[in-house]
Structure 1
Amino acid sequence: MAENKSNYTEDSIRSLDWKEHIRLRPGMYIGKLGDGSAQDDGIYVLVKEIIDNCIDEHVMGFGKQINISISEHRVEVRDYGRGIPLGKVVDCVSKINTGGKYDSKAFQKSVGLNGVGTKAVNALSTYFKVQSFRDGQTKFAEFNQGELLNESELEPTNQKNGTLIIFEPDDSIFKNYHFIPQYLDDQIWNYAFLNAGLTVNFNNVKYHSENGLLDLLQRKTNEEALRYPIVHLKGDDIELALTHSNQYGEEYYSFVNGQFTTQGGTHLQAFREALVKTVRDFYGKNYDATDVRASIVASVSVRVMEPVFESQTKTKLGSQAVGPDGPTMRVFVNDFVKKSLDDYLHKHADVAEALQKRILQSERERKEISGIKKLANERAKKANLHNKKLRDCRMHYNDVKAKNPEDTMIFITEGDSASGSITKSRDVQTQAVFSLRGKPLNCFNLTKKVVYENEEFNLLQHALNIEDGIDGLRYRKIVIATDADVDGMHIRLLLMTFFLQFFPDVVKNGHLFILETPLFRVRNKKETIYCYSEAEKQKATNKLGAKAEVTRFKGLGEISPNEFGDFIGENIRLEPVILQKQTSIEQLLTFYMGKNTPNRQNFIIDNLRVEKDVIDEIAS
């Protein structure tokens, strides 16, 4: 002990500079890292941090257009705002707490107030370029991992005022990363919806909205499934849109100062309370809050001064007040909803009638399953004491004290051999395993009563903690881990049907994934390569030579625990289950899981490809 004390000297104390700190602790600045398979992975946060600055310029009245180009590993963003002051081009992207938003008069309702975002992008990129165009002059600077490489002199230009940022994320930090087009599409549409009149050109496609949150809900819903037309209400610093559909659960899109708060916060909590209170007062009935909100699809956007978020990535609002001297968030939202929604329902009797019918239907459905729900929950409680189906992990997504909640995941497996391999090779801190017994029930067109009557479904919803919505979800990622054969694919479909039918918000909020496991192992005495496709196998065979040993994995149970550790660790490959904009859950499930056998047969016959066809394609 004495020796350790003597080694602890002034030389032991070290200060990190800004870029070292960001690269050492990137999670503090951009949340989790990830490879791009999840919507909130770090590479999308990098894109957001740059676009946020462009949006703030637009909100201040400078620049009605933003051009964005994103290729596999390169991002370019050009706005037409005022342009960074030319003497501060380097400082604005490389000095922490340097920016133009500390003067609250200039940026009263801005998103990026802390002067960190662009610097984080710079530090976490292998190439970063900033160029400002201002009043006929331009200047640029280039960086590598935050280190200045090149700084230009002032030069004349005939380009319009504004700022250009180009960056390439560092693949040593964002390992095996790739941008998923649907995620970028959603991200950019949100900017358009929240900034009426703004045009965003993304990879030569124009994004533009004139009707704000009304357009957003029209994009997110299927018009045929809505119980009444979308209600769209706007006030000073607040806008909301809402409707009810036929799906289970509650679906919300909440925003603060143009920032998509994926985890909600005080503004969303206030809206949910205000909605229930207003509805009860309007009908003069003390309806249960869950019945009022069941099947709701809504979006709420507020603009506040000096917003307080619960993290640097600004995904959850913590502000209790609208501004330093303004009302509380709860009072502000409640006053607006009480007046505007009440007025709307008085003026639109057809909407008021349809809303009440939806509430009464939810009430009947809740009461119908209350008896079976009670029994099922008692059974689940007993099973949870010794639940053989669940091998839990130590950290959970809904645990505020968890060190890495974003890393938590649960593998849903089939059979003992597969679950055994995963259980032996998993990270017990963040990875749980739920083992299915055979094929689950096809629950298409069944009511939620079946979730409680079917023991396996009931135990699964309790393991995930999603019975009353996804607010308490215990794992960030729900991973379906089945064999890549016909039976495994069938089980995938049945599980996806379960989530889409009863818990669609799990899918819509980006929590459901498919585990990709290698189909082949190609090896010689010096090297082993795992291949996830026929094309990768051909490439590996060419590399290792014709005498290389090729093993085809028929099921997960054939992969040893030692090997499996490579596929669910740092190099894990996950395919997100994404609902396209035009996808109707009802139509999707009817086609694939319903009884329209001739239509489905014809589709399979028309699209069938055998392994020989795939090999011929690769060869050609």
Structure 2
Amino acid sequence: MSKTQYSESSITVLKGLDPVKERPGMYTRTDSPTHICQEVIDNAADEALGGFATEIKVEIHDDGSLSVKDNGRGIPVGLHPTEGLPVVELVFTQLHAGGKFDKKSGGGAYAFSGGLHGVGVSVTNALSSRLEVTVKREGQIHRIVFSDGHVIEPLAQIGKCAVRDSGTEVRVWPNGKYFESPNYSITELERLLRAKAVLLPGVEVSLTRTPKGQTEPQTQTWHYPNGLKSYLSDLISEAQEAVPVFASENYIPAGHDGDFTVGEGAAFALTWLEEGSCASESYVNLIPTPLGGTHEAGLKQAVFQAVSNFINHHNLLPRGVKVQSDDVFGKVAFVLSARVLDPQFQGQTKDKLTNRDALKLVAAVSGDPLELWLNQNVEAGKKIAELAIKQAQARMRSVKKIEKKKGSGVAVLPGKLTDCESEDIRENELFLVEGDSAGGSAKLARDKATQAILPLRGKVLNSFEVHADQLFGNAEIHDISVAIGVDPHGVNDNPDLSGLRYGKIAILSDADVDGSHIQVLLLTLFYRHFPKLVSDGHIYVAQPPLFRVDVNAQGKNKPARKFYALDQNELDGILERLNKEGLSENKYSISRFKGLGEMNPDQLKDTTMHPDTRRLLQVRIPEDAGDETQSIFVKLMGKGEAANRRAWMEREGDTAEVDI
């Protein structure tokens, strides 16, 4: 291993623009030269922001260079009072030299600007093989030329112009060795220039270039007389708006006492979307901030506060729901243009604003106008509140989402499930049995080859209005889902039925009112959360008998007999037949099953479980009865339908045939 010398001479001091050339990634994006050209465009935009320029012209030339021309004041060409060099030369050759410092005292050239470090165009110069600056100022035209950051043609007057004709033109030849691709991002340039036109009312912005495959240059021009509102409408043209676009522009007025400076503030346009991705763009002093920052946080805070006040004022919040900031802002599409006296960015690329005061500033100037608009447009406000509340409910469900219990990567079958030997769903069956005692009888009565038993304790949850994410909070529903091997799904979903473990799923409950109630609760579960099983014919209802008739033996030729009756009607039919046979009442006895648990295994097998002797009804919904079925379920199982249920029972109660 060689020994490396480390002494005083080992320390290298990079001077001038050498730090930029050594580590360009610290100062700009190196995927393409687009960003170093954006620095020049931003300088022209700062002139327009200050009210000194009315046009910005960008042109991509056939030799790969790019020029930016404005009709602002023109960069000063005189000697700097302390540095002794022309100011235009200092701006392009010295890091941290510019006219955007000393804003509060008024000694700087700009009150509001995107530039703040004095680094931008000097980086452009350092990473360009050639850079030309032409300045029109005070009736004279000056030019200076650089190469790799060094002056190769000193500042010189090359002509005269009208005194009122002023401005700056910078032409850049990016040095390809610093960039992964020599090509400009046309999409990014177009977006940037379009945004400058939007954010600078009255300023015309253009891009001239020769499209690929053509010989003549073409010019695109951007001019937005309606500013942010029309720009946001363009951004979300393919999305569905929930409410009309709202736009506002508010800056701190003269004579204001407070923490902010006159002229600071924000302009914004926003709306809420029903569908589609939420377009959002933010700017600080016309500089795009794709990563957002404190100004976006200020707008978010203002929107949340305004909507929260509206919801509370109109008493729209359901019990148990708490709306958070992201619930309100999640569906917002917006364009925000903040004006901050002394912006602080994260990194030289200025992708994110970090001023803490910017949050307070934007929140302060945006909240009142938005709240006023909401209260003047109550229907729009209620629509926004509805969207926010839906988002809050979805968030609360997702936080409480209950997953299947898993072990070793697969769903764990319920411990109380008595499974069958067959895995062929063409023949195997699952009986959902009411109660543990009935479950015990069913286990002894079953055909263990093809019949499985899952006993249920008590009544299953009414799942009609329970969201799918919350279903597994109920142990019985969790066990049913795991046992059958299918996850809950909606009517329009495409569930995976490859894990279905049983071809028939039979509901087996007592033949009384409570049993009917459990049956309805289970049917509600399958109808609402497992509709594919219903439509594919996998759900059945077993019908155990309610009565047993024991007929005494009538001599040697007529042994004792047993009859089972499903309900009172069947019992009456059996008794009528016995009477026709001439049997008196003392020749037979009638017993009523209080529940499945009273049946011994043989009785349960013969009456309810054996395929040859049982009654098993398949659950189906007729094709033309979908709406009617839905309305019946809503009336019977909906939480808010108590009044309708009562009216229905009062109207139809005398027609019910129930054994109580």
- Structural mapping, 1:5-16, within 5 Å: 7-16=5-14
Q: Distance in 1 between matches of 2:242 and 2:495?
A: 27
Matched, 1:244 2:272: yes
* Deviation at residue 261 of structure 1 after TM alignment: 0.9
Partner of 1:335: 364
Aligned residues of 2:49 and 2:285 also touching (Cα < 8 A): no
Sort the Cα spacing of 1:11 and 1:452 in 2 relative to 1 into closer, same or farther, 3 A: farther
Deviates more, 1:285-294 or 1:93-102: 285-294
Correspondence for 1:206: 221
Equivalent residue for 1:118, pick from 118, 121, 130: 121
Query: Aligned to 1:277, what secondary structure does the other structure show?
Result: helix
Among 31, 35, 39, the residue aligned to 1:34:
31
Aligned residues: 372
Deviation at residue 128 of structure 1 after TM alignment: 0.8
Q: How far is the alpha carbon of 1:65 from its aligned partner? A: 0.7
Indicate the larger mover: 124-133 or 144-153: 144-153
**Aligned mates of 1:65, 1:126 — CA distance in 2:** 27
Deviation for aligned residue 1:13:
2.2
Q: Name the residue aligned to 2:354.
A: 318
In structure 2, distance between residues paired with 1:241 and 1:122: 36
Correspondences of 1:401-440 after superposition (within 5 Å): none
Q: Does structure 2 conserve the Cα–Cα contact (< 8 Å) formed by 1:278 and 1:337?
A: no
Contact 2:298/2:359 (8 A) holds in 1:
yes
Cα deviation for residue 453 of structure 1 reads 9.3
Which secondary structure state, in structure 2, belongs to the residue aligned with residue 316 of structure 1?
A: coil
Find the partner of 2:59 among 59, 69, 76: 69
SS of the aligned residue for 2:243 comes to coil
Is 1:185 the counterpart of 2:193? The answer is no
Separation in 1, partners of 2:289, 2:368: 25
Say whether the 8 Å CA contact 2:17–2:94 is kept in structure 1. no
- Does the 8 Å contact 1:278/1:338 carry over to 2? yes
Q: Which of 46, 58, 61 is the matching residue for 2:36? A: 46
Displacement, 1:248?
Answer: 5.7
1:222 paired residue among 221, 237, 249: 237
What TM-score results when the alignment is normalised by the length of structure 1? Answer: 0.55
Evaluate the alpha carbon distance shift between residue 320 and residue 294 of structure 1 in structure 2; reply closer, same or farther with a 3 A threshold: closer
Question: What displacement does 1:176 show?
Answer: 2.9
Structure 2 matches for 1:512-551, cutoff 5 A?
Answer: none
Distance of 1:312 and 1:262 partners within structure 2: 13
**Relative to structure 1, is the Cα distance of residues 332 and 101 closer, same or farther in structure 2, using a 3 angstrom cutoff?**
closer
Is 2:127–2:149's contact at 8 Å kept on the other side of the alignment? yes
Contact 2:144 2:156 survives alignment (8 Å): no
- Is 1:142 aligned to residue 174 of structure 2? no
* Structure 1 position 19 matched with structure 2 position 17: yes
- Return the alpha-carbon distance in structure 2 between the equivalents of residues 451 and 310 of structure 1: 46
Partner of 1:79: 70
Q: 3-state DSSP class of the match of 2:152?
A: strand
Q: CA RMSD in A?
A: 3.2
Matches within 5 A, 1:511-590: none
Corresponding residue number in structure 2 for 1:510: none
Shift of residue 348 of structure 1?
1.4
Q: TM-score, normalised by structure 2?
A: 0.52
Deviation at 1:169, TM superposition (A): 1.2
Change (3 A) 1:350 1:305: same
Name the SS of the counterpart of 1:115 in structure 2.
Answer: coil
Conservation of the 8 A alpha-carbon contact between 2:133 and 2:145: yes
Matched residue SS, 1:246: strand
Give the Cα separation in 2 of the matches to 1:135 and 1:311: 36
Contact 2:116 2:343 in 1 (8 A): no
Instruction: Give 2:340's match in structure 1, choosing from 297, 301, 304.
Output: 304
The DSSP-based 3-state class of the residue aligned with 2:17 is helix
Structure (1/2) with the larger helix percentage: 1
Residue pair 1:249, 1:294 contacting (<8 A) in 2 also? no
Q: How far does residue 267 in structure 1 lie from its aligned partner after superposition?
A: 1.3
Matches within 5 A, 1:457-536: none
Contact in 1 for aligned 2:250/2:366 (Cα 8 Å): no
Could you give the per-residue CA deviations for residues 407-449 of structure 1, whole angstroms, max 9, x where no partner exists? xxxxxxxxxxxxxxxxxxxxxxxxxxxxxxxxxxxxxxx99x9
Local SS of the residue matching 1:234: strand
Amino acid at match of 2:154: E
How far apart are residue 54 of structure 1 and its match? 0.9
Alignment match of 1:273 (pick from 301, 306, 311) = 301
The alpha carbon displacement at 1:273 in A equals 2.5
| Secondary structure in 2 matching 1:292 | helix
Write the deviation string for residues 378-418 of structure 1: whole angstroms up to 9, x where unpaired: 98x989xxxxxxxxxxxxxxxxxxxxxxxxxxxxxxxxxxx
Contact 1:250–1:293 under 8 Å retained in 2:
no
Q: 1:142: Cα distance to partner?
A: 1.4
- 2:37–2:172 CA contact under 8 A, matched in 1: no
Letter in 1 for 2:193: I
How far did 1:191 drift? 0.7
Structure 2 counterpart of 1:166, from 171, 175, 184: 171
CA contact (8 A) 2:267 2:336 kept: yes
Q: Secondary structure at the match of 1:99?
A: coil
- Cα gap change, 1:364 to 1:3, in 2 (>3 Å): closer
Aligned-pair identity in percent equals 26
DSSP-derived class of the 2:177 partner: coil
The Cα offsets for residues 559-593 of structure 1, whole Å up to 9 and x where unpaired, read as xxxxxxxxxxxxxxxxxxxxxxxxxxxxxxxxxxx
What amino acid is aligned across from residue 280 of structure 1 in structure 2?
S
Shift of 1:238: 1.1
Displacement after TM superposition at 1:114 (Å): 1.6
Distance 2:275 2:53 in 1: 40
Distance of aligned partners of 1:152 and 1:265 in 2 relative to their CA distance in 1, 3 Å threshold: closer
The question of whether the paired residues in 1 share the 8 Å contact of 2:240 and 2:276 is answered with no
Counterpart mapping for 1:335-374 below 5 A: 335-363=364-392, 366=395, 374=402
8 Å Cα contact 2:310-2:381 kept in structure 1: no
Matched, 1:127 2:127: no
2:249 maps to which of 225, 234, 248: 234
In the alignment, the residues of structure 2 paired with residue 34 and residue 126 of structure 1 have an alpha-carbon distance, to the nearest angstrom, of 17
The structure 1 segments of at least 4 consecutive aligned residues displaced by more than 6 Å after TM superposition are: 367-371, 449-454
**TM-aligned CA distance change 1:2 to 1:51, over 3 Å:** closer
| CA shift digits 1:520-560 (9 cap, x unpaired) | xxxxxxxxxxxxxxxxxxxxxxxxxxxxxxxxxxxxxxxxx
Over residues 177-218 of structure 1, what are the superposed CA-to-partner deviations in whole Å (9 max), with x where a residue is unaligned?
312322211111111111111111211221112222212211
| Cα separation, partners in 2 of 1:52 and 1:450, compared to 1, 3 Å | farther
| Separation (CA, whole Å) in 2 of partners of 1:146 and 1:451 | 63
Q: Which residue of 1 aligns with 2:94?
A: 95
Give the Cα separation in 1 of the matches to 2:77 and 2:27.
26
In structure 2, the residue matched to 1:283 is 311
**More contact order relative to length (CA 8 Å, sep ≥ 6):** 1
The one-letter code matched in structure 1 to 2:384 is L
| Deviation for aligned residue 1:97 | 2.3
Q: Say which of 89, 108, 123 aligns to 2:111.
A: 108
Q: In 2, Cα distance between the equivalents of 1:80 and 1:340?
A: 35
Q: Contact 1:130–1:166 (CA<8 Å) still a contact in 2?
A: yes
Work out the CA distance in 1 between the residues paired with 2:117 and 2:157.
28
For 1:94 and 1:450, locate their aligned partners in 2 and report how far apart those are by CA, in whole Å. Answer: 64
Q: Which blocks of at least 5 consecutive residues in structure 2 are unaligned?
A: 79-85, 209-218, 252-264, 411-488, 498-660
Q: Secondary structure at the match of 2:274?
A: coil
The structural deviation recorded for 1:12 is: 2.0
Contact 2:57 2:69 in 1 (8 A): yes
107 and 452 in structure 1: CA distance in 2 versus 1, 3 angstrom threshold:
farther
Question: Retained in 2: the 8 A contact 1:19–1:145?
Answer: no
Bigger-Rg structure (1/2): 2
Cα distance, 1:291 vs structure 2: 2.7
User: Deviation digits for residues 132-184 of structure 1, max 9, x if unmatched?
Assistant: 11122122121221122212522322362111100111111113331232221
